[in-house]
Structure 1
Amino acid sequence: MALISMTASHHDLDLDLLEQLTRDTHTLGKSLVAASARNRGCVVLSTCNRFEVYLDVDLDASVPESALVSTARVAAPVTAASSIAAATATATQLISQASSLPHSLTQRAFTVHTGPDVAAHLFRVASGLDSLVVGEREIAGQVRRALRTAHVDQLTTGPLERLFQRALRTSKAIASSTALSSDGRSVVSVALDLASQASPPWPRASVLVVGTGAYAGATVAALRARGVRDIAVYSGSGRAHAFAVSHQITPASDLPSAIADADVVVACSGNSSGHRGGTPPSPSPTSPILDDPAHHPAHDRAGEVAKQSSISYVLDVAAIAAARRASAEAADGPEGAARPLVVVDLALHRDADPRIAGMAGVGFIDLATVRANAPAAAEEVLREAEAVLAAGLAEYAEREDMRTADAAVTAVVEEFARKREARVVGLVGRGVDRAEAGRRAARELNAEMHRRVLGAQGKI
């Protein structure tokens, strides 16, 4: 058995490329387990700034190589390295097919971790230490939901379960024993802080939330914490009313009218609804709110992605323009009299057409803006968090070592039990009394068995 993780994240990739990688991958876990007899289990973690695949791969050479899909087949003899290479090749091939990106580009997009590095990486991710906004707490919930989805799909295994549960336990320990997440830093909070530069004071602001997933819930909570009282929710899926009732906000049935009534629109439906067909994306232009071009890092591969991808937007230029006209009419003035509007797009699969940023009177904030403006955590707090993380990793490694040793000892004992029985049968066949045959077999084999058991326990 070996655990493997494949990571594509904001650290190495343009967000447009990251978005395209996750296209139509909602069944990836099932596909990976079905594709190869060696893939015992899988957990897929997809957030607004990362896409990760965790695999439990069988290294047993008795599993036939022909069980692997042809695109991932490797030359015999089967080794641990070849099994891991086959598993990652299968994953990148399936992701390439789903995303319509070239296989070579998909391969380069992922960083592969094996051995102890898998746990070290996931523990950092679950604790918010690897996040776009360091210390964010949403990521722990996203990790938990990824594990829950794998449960529902019956894709978890003992090693994956222990890995994720220990990572979440360490995340909780960091949150409770350090100040890393005490100031509530998150993608949502950074985005709202930026939006406040061009919106009315929060207690007087009208905010429309587009979407009803986990990020929408986090957005409503963050808005309430800032004193916002006028919050509406819209969902193209028809879930707005139920979400509004559960969060005690107002449901909106007509999107243009709801936008016209809002000072700030926070769009986050793409985090849960997946990719949609339509117009190709384009790199985010400089936000009118933050007019320093450095706030939007260059998207090195955005052109390549734009040729390959195709999406439509919940908030397009036409919808915003119609809302602006309605707002101006309500103010009994020309279109330019419409009150300023801030559009915040927190969806990896974009909800808002980035060309909205070029519209007069409209501010635009997306994940690239958040990434460029994410605050750094204090060094002392990071040191404390790293110490808790190291302790959690050490405990996890110790427990796994003990489990491995116990399994190895059990295997040795069972092996020698079979050898003893075979020896007894042979002696009895030559006329030796069975009790005496048992004693002889024990004398012949016990010393070697004890030596092997000590070796399995690491004592010799």
Structure 2
Amino acid sequence: MLICLSANHKNSSFDVLEKLSVGADEAAGGMLTGHDALSGAVVVATCNRFEAYLDLDEPFGVSPLPAVYAAIDAVSASTGVSAALLRDTLDLVHGNGVAEHLFAVTSGLESVVVGEGEIAGQVRRALEEARAAGTTSPELERLFQRASQTSRGVKNRTGIGAAGRSLVRLSLELAESRVTDWAHTRVLLVGTGRYAGASLAALRDLGVTDVRVYSPSGRAERFAASHDIQALATDADALAAETALADLILTCTTVEHHVIDAGILLAGRALVAARTAAAAESAAPVRSCPMGGDVEATRQLVIDLGLPRNVDPDVSEVTGVELLDLETIRIHAPLEELNATSEARRLVDRAARKFSAVAEEQSLAPAVVALRSYVFDILDAEIERAHARGDNSEQTESALRHLAGVLLHTPMVRSRELARAGEQDAFLGGLDALFGIDVTLPEAGVTGLPTAPGVAGVTDISSAAS
């Protein structure tokens, strides 16, 4: 059975999501080693969600809770978040709800900014990382590949992709009320990863031309050369000084420590003030701090798109500095576009039902194989009997095989119909009653899990244990 453990911006605090993101890379392997019945795990970790998709190989009727708790313990070990907090925080999605949930996530319907496009790539990379680590499974492969196909269909057939805005663009829209003239705004970009390119493109669309890039990992020169901007040296003084000179600081690096804090900002202002004083004595021109050069009157905006945080919250205590981090940005996320979202939801629901129908049909495969084997054994015996009577004509054998195919046609159609309706037992009972074929199916669903009212397939883990 498929299971999803989900922590996201709707059910978790930013601090919990930040901690979960730190140890996400090690979580999948730990979950598989923590419980023998877990045959696959794929972890999707973004700035606003941590989700573990699990393939549990248990017989029908066995509660998945022991495997769920083992997975939670593994997540706790890799991230440092207590198991008790995870049980209270994580939502458990199970059964047919897993496909619908992942398809909605991948299509941007569960994002802070509904319709944002980055999540589809993040889901795709999560599968690639699971493949590289050897933690995926055939059913998870099918699930994630279908999720990518669904997101492309939603993007191509609805307006949600155009209506949705990325976190980068939303953060800059929020910044517009603090910026007088983008064309005269000096920007310090910290980081050279996937958000850096999107950030630079969005800044240029607003008219920004004065951008400098700093990379904690030393990649600034290459990024600057490929994007025609200036790179900062990697020494601390260069970074500190530029933080004092920039009107806007935008961070989007993946390092797991603060790159900017109050101490760096204050050190930078002291450096610039000292250089300004020295320049005044020599009459050499030196750029002063933003907004006129008075350190106390400096007004700066810091946008932190990093998870974990790239910027220490203590920068807000520095005079004139305003911080926009992911937690603040998501509070201001716009209402979703109702028409586009409704159509997207319809497409997601259809794709999820189709995925589940295929899975349900496959659940009866052992019974279908048993019936076909039963009929074909009779067929082979009749052909042998005909040969024994001296009838070796191809016409006789062809007629017998045609008859077997005709007889099997209706049971095959009914097996698919009954499986899609969740009535596998009716098919199994018919086989046993008519032919004496007794088939025990492997896991074919989820039982023993209370479901939250009004949310199909979603369970509160702490209540499931009670």
TM range (shorter): 0.7 to 0.9
> Which of 372, 376, 379 is the matching residue for 2:335?
376
User: Using the alignment, how far apart are the partners of 1:227 and 1:177 within structure 2?
Assistant: 31
The question of whether the paired residues in 2 share the 8 Å contact of 1:39 and 1:87 is answered with yes
| Aligned: 1:6 with 2:15 | no
| Aligned: 1:181 with 2:171 | no
- Report the CA distance between 1:215 and its aligned residue: 1.8
- Report the CA distance between 1:211 and its aligned residue: 1.6
Greater Cα radius of gyration, structure 1 or 2: 2
User: Using the alignment, how far apart are the partners of 1:458 and 1:379 within structure 2?
Assistant: 34
Structure 1 residue matching 2:55: 3-state secondary structure: strand
Structure 1 residue matching 2:24: 3-state secondary structure: coil
Task: Say if 1:408 and 1:148 are closer, same or farther in 2 by CA, change over 3 A.
Answer: farther
User: Using the alignment, how far apart are the partners of 1:42 and 1:435 within structure 2?
Assistant: 56
Partner residue, 2:247 = 263
Partner residue, 2:215 = 235
Partner residue, 1:68 = none
Partner residue, 1:394 = 353
Structure 2 residue matching 1:365: 3-state secondary structure: strand
Task: Say if 1:179 and 1:456 are closer, same or farther in 2 by CA, change over 3 A.
Answer: closer
| Aligned: 1:356 with 2:297 | no
The question of whether the paired residues in 2 share the 8 Å contact of 1:199 and 1:340 is answered with no
> Which residue identity does 1:347 align to in structure 2?
G
Partner residue, 1:125 = 105
User: Using the alignment, how far apart are the partners of 2:374 and 2:188 within structure 1?
Assistant: 66
Partner residue, 1:295 = none
| Greater RCO structure (CA 8 Å; 6+ sep) | 2
Partner residue, 1:318 = 263
> Which residue identity does 1:46 align to in structure 2?
A
Partner residue, 1:22 = 21
Deviations 1:149-206 (A, max 9, x none): 1122222222212211222222222222222221451211111112222234222212
The question of whether the paired residues in 2 share the 8 Å contact of 1:32 and 1:91 is answered with yes
The question of whether the paired residues in 2 share the 8 Å contact of 1:200 and 1:263 is answered with no
Deviations 1:28-77 (A, max 9, x none): 112222333322111100011100000111124xxxxxxxxxxxxxxxxx
Task: Say if 1:414 and 1:107 are closer, same or farther in 2 by CA, change over 3 A.
Answer: farther
1:28-177 matches, cutoff 5 A: 28-60=27-59, 80-82=61-63, 84-177=64-157
Task: Say if 1:321 and 1:415 are closer, same or farther in 2 by CA, change over 3 A.
Answer: farther
The question of whether the paired residues in 1 share the 8 Å contact of 2:3 and 2:93 is answered with yes
The aligned length equals: 386
Task: Say if 1:171 and 1:360 are closer, same or farther in 2 by CA, change over 3 A.
Answer: same
User: Using the alignment, how far apart are the partners of 2:324 and 2:310 within structure 1?
Assistant: 12
Partner residue, 2:199 = 219
- Report the CA distance between 1:352 and its aligned residue: 0.7
- Report the CA distance between 1:415 and its aligned residue: 7.3
Partner residue, 1:301 = none
User: Using the alignment, how far apart are the partners of 1:213 and 1:101 within structure 2?
Assistant: 26
Partner residue, 1:73 = none
> Which of 194, 197, 211 is the matching residue for 2:174?
194
User: Using the alignment, how far apart are the partners of 2:181 and 2:125 within structure 1?
Assistant: 34
> Which residue identity does 2:239 align to in structure 1?
L
The question of whether the paired residues in 2 share the 8 Å contact of 1:191 and 1:344 is answered with yes
Partner residue, 1:75 = none
> Which of 191, 202, 205 is the matching residue for 2:185?
205
Structure 2 residue matching 1:377: 3-state secondary structure: coil
- Report the CA distance between 1:406 and its aligned residue: 5.0
Task: Say if 1:348 and 1:185 are closer, same or farther in 2 by CA, change over 3 A.
Answer: same
Task: Say if 1:117 and 1:360 are closer, same or farther in 2 by CA, change over 3 A.
Answer: same
> Which residue identity does 1:400 align to in structure 2?
A
1:432-443 matches, cutoff 5 A: none
Task: Say if 1:233 and 1:80 are closer, same or farther in 2 by CA, change over 3 A.
Answer: farther
TM-score under structure 1 normalisation?
A: 0.75
Say which is worse superposed, 244-253 or 2-11, in terms of deviation.
244-253
User: Using the alignment, how far apart are the partners of 1:414 and 1:35 within structure 2?
Assistant: 39
Where structure 2 has 5 or more consecutive residues not aligned to the other structure, the ranges are: 278-287, 390-399, 419-426, 428-466
Partner residue, 1:278 = none
User: Using the alignment, how far apart are the partners of 1:364 and 1:414 within structure 2?
Assistant: 69
Say which is worse superposed, 121-130 or 243-252, in terms of deviation.
243-252
Task: Say if 1:408 and 1:186 are closer, same or farther in 2 by CA, change over 3 A.
Answer: farther
Deviations 1:84-135 (A, max 9, x none): 2122111110112223333211211110111111011111111111111111
When the two chains are superposed, the root-mean-square deviation of aligned CA atoms in Å is 3.1
Task: Say if 1:345 and 1:410 are closer, same or farther in 2 by CA, change over 3 A.
Answer: same
Deviations 1:194-249 (A, max 9, x none): 22222342222121221222222221222122222222221211222222233333
